[in-house]
Amino acid sequence: MSTSVVSDSIPLQERLRLKKIGNEMYNDYTTESIKETASFTRTNKNQPIEITSKKPVGRFRQVVDVKNKRPHDPRFDPLCGKLNQDLFQKSYSFLDSYKENELETLRKEVRKAKNKERKGDLQVCILYVTETLHSISMLQQKVNLLAQEIKQKKKSDRLQNALTERKRQEREAVMNGKNPFYMKRKEKKNVELQIKFQELEESGNLVKFMAKKRKKNSNKDHRWLPRKRI
């Protein structure tokens, strides 16, 4: 016999009475649960948690709340000292020679891979050719990244050496009676430009760079010239 048939056989008043009793029992249960939960509230946040004795105690549980520890990196903490750029460069200068050797090794591997591809048989499978081209591309990308890193390191070293020399000259001038001079951002920018022009002159690209610069400035000036009305 289905549930709907049984419920239909019960009079309406009896069903309403049972529904009312069920609601009252549910309300009493929820009220007791709320009271039980409220009875275990803590007056102090550092007070241990009070757990009802009706529940079994777990083997692993947090008795006292511990504040989360924040990670601490001493490299970025000003209390751990100030970075000495000159000492840092002298201490790790051996890494530059390692990078130079690694760059030369990678270039040899690129040339070897290219020669192997040229000497390959015409009947080699497409998969092998694809893998070879991918290998060459990855090696070339690694060479470019390492070369760029070495170039940037040399540029940074030249700038640091120039600034160190400038500070040394200023210290000597102060010892001779000159007022102290503190380099501003504009003076530092001028030192960077001098180093950049020296690098361009050494690489033979100074003329090309100046021509490109003049063309760019000329295009900027043309924007402000009067135009013929149509």
Q: What share of the chain is helix, strand, coil (3-state, %, to 5)?
A: 70, 0, 30
Cβ count near 221 (within 10 Å)? 8
Report DSSP letters for 182-200, one per residue: ---HHHHHHHHHHHHHHHH
Domain boundaries, the chain: 3-38, 86-204
pLDDT given for residue 127 in this prediction: 61
Residues 6+ apart with CB under 8 A from 62: 49
What is the rounded CA–CA span in Å between residue 195 and residue 159? 7
Give residue 122's pLDDT: 47
- State the Cα–Cα distance between residues 152 and 195, nearest whole angstrom: 13
CB 88 within 8 A of CB 78: no
Q: In the chain, which residues have pLDDT < 70?
A: 1-10, 22, 25-42, 51, 83, 116-129, 181-182, 219-230
Q: What is the pLDDT of residue 229?
A: 59
What is the structure's pLDDT at 40? Answer: 54
Alpha carbon 170 to chain centroid distance? 38
Q: Residue 1: what pLDDT?
A: 47
